[in-house]
């Protein structure tokens, strides 16, 4: 991680840069207040003469790319992450005359970076894309790493491609505009980073928490870009998290669901004898620190969650979870269904999606 001491945001803090080391596909992730205004520099470096900007934010929060631009209103939210939306985006790019030497810009939350990233990967078999993630969740995780995907009725993120961006601009000014629940939602990914090698981030500023989370993800992605081994660690808490999103029809938001999934992962690892009671309790303590929910939503059954967990992309050998252990987190396949069910049955329930159960 580097501090750009000569470049500071409106709050006087230095901008931070994390480099995702993927050789010729590598790119910088820049973090700081006001960093969205460097978009014209990024577009000029790409050499694009035209840009399609797909934004979930109002015009005053969507930076001018400095070249001829098509502006498309995004469909931010899980229900908008569909192949139909990707097809519509590609059609808009074609009508605008976008070529392979031009670029696409996403400006929005994680669902926007996912869908726009996939459209950029498919249009003309790939055009440059730059992400301006505007939610904490997207800045910490979704915009970095090159995974793009949309949902099917059968499951989340089942259709996608790997397409690395040219740059990611994480402007912390965007976070000041978020509703409180959406801001806290982003800490779900930061909480899970505690258990995959990022260390304890609880005492850091938000910008430093983002940078540390991105730095850990960049390390993992640089070693396993295509998710064949080590990159599974990034799915800590996600197997149950994705099941909870589906079971609540996305009333439970992604970060909230991952937070509950992280507490569950600690309990399951304890039930399997992989970690001791203190480490199990640490999962709960970390998630609680960030003000996130820790219990299962009322009305969601154990059987439903187990069935949905079987649809997870990692589940090639029975129920599969990323779990803590004596040597750190790792992918564990073939977890007995009766153990998973027993741990789920023992978890507390919360009164509504997003409410805290302690």
pLDDT over 70 percentage in the chain: 93
Walk me through the domains of the chain, giving residue ranges and CATH numbers. 2-223 (3.40.50.1970), 236-350 (1.20.1090.10)
Task: Please state, in angstroms and rounded to a whole number, the distance separating the CA atoms of residues 178 and 305.
Answer: 30
pLDDT tens digits, residue range 45-55?
Answer: 999 999 999 99
Say yes or no to pLDDT of 357 above 50.
no
pLDDT tens-place string over residues 111-145: 999 999 999 999 999 999 999 999 999 999 999 99
pLDDT at 351: 66
pLDDT of amino acid 3: 54
Give the residue-averaged pLDDT of 245-264. Answer: 95
Q: What φ, ψ does residue 280 adopt, rounded to 5°?
A: -60, -45
Asked if pLDDT for residue 4 goes beyond 80, the answer is no
> Model pTM?
0.90
pLDDT exceeds cutoff 50 at 204: yes
Instruction: Look at residues 160, 305, 167 and name the one whose alpha carbon lies nearest to residue 246.
Output: 305
17 pLDDT more than 90: yes
In the predicted model, is pLDDT for residue 5 greater than 50?
A: no
Q: Is the dihedral of CA 230, 235, 240, 246 positive or negative?
A: negative
> How do beta strands 147-152 and 68-73 pair?
unpaired
State residue 350's pLDDT score.
83
Mean pLDDT confidence for 154-177: 94
Find the mean pLDDT for residues 168-194.
96
Instruction: Please report the pLDDT score of residue 343 as a whole number.
Output: 98
């Amino acid at each position: 991680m580097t501090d750009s001491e000569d470049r500071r945001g409106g709050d006087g803090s230095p901008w931070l840069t994390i480099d995702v080391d993927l050789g010729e596909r590598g790119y910088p992730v820049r973090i700081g207040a006001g960093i969205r205004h460097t978009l014209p520099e990024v577009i000029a470096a790409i050499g694009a003469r035209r840009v399609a900007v797909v934004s979930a934010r109002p015009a005053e929060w969507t930076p001018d790319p400095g070249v001829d631009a098509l502006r498309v209103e995004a469909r931010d939210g899980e229900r908008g992450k569909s192949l139909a939306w990707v097809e519509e985006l590609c059609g808009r790019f074609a009508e605008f005359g976008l070529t392979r030497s031009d670029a696409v810009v996403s400006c929005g939350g994680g669902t926007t970076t996912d869908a726009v990233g996939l459209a950029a990967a498919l249009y003309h078999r790939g055009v440059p894309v730059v992400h301006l993630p505007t939610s904490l969740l997207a800045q910490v995780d979704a915009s970095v790493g090159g995974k793009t995907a949309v949902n099917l009725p059968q499951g989340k993120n089942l259709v996608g491609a790997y397409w690395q961006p040219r740059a990611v601009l994480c402007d912390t000014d965007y976070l000041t505009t978020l509703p409180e629940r959406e801001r806290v939602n982003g800490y779900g990914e930061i909480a899970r980073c505690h258990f995959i090698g990022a260390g304890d981030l609880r005492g850091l500023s938000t910008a430093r928490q983002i940078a540390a989370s991105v730095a850990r993800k960049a390390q993992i992605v640089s070693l396993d870009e295509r998710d064949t081994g080590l990159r599974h660690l990034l799915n800590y808490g996600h197997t149950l998290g994705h099941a909870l999103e589906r079971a609540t029809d996305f009333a439970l938001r992604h970060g909230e669901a991952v937070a509950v999934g992280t507490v569950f992962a600690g309990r399951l690892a304890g039930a399997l004898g992989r970690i001791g009671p203190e480490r199990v309790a640490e999962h709960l303590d970390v998630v609680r620190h960030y003000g996130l929910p820790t219990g299962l939503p009322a009305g969601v059954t154990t059987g439903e969650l187990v069935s949905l967990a079987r649809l997870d992309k990692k589940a090639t050998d029975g129920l599969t979870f990323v779990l803590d252990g004596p040597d750190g987190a790792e992918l564990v396949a073939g977890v007995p269904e009766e153990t998973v069910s027993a741990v789920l049955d023992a978890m507390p329930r919360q009164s509504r999606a997003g409410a805290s159960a302690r």
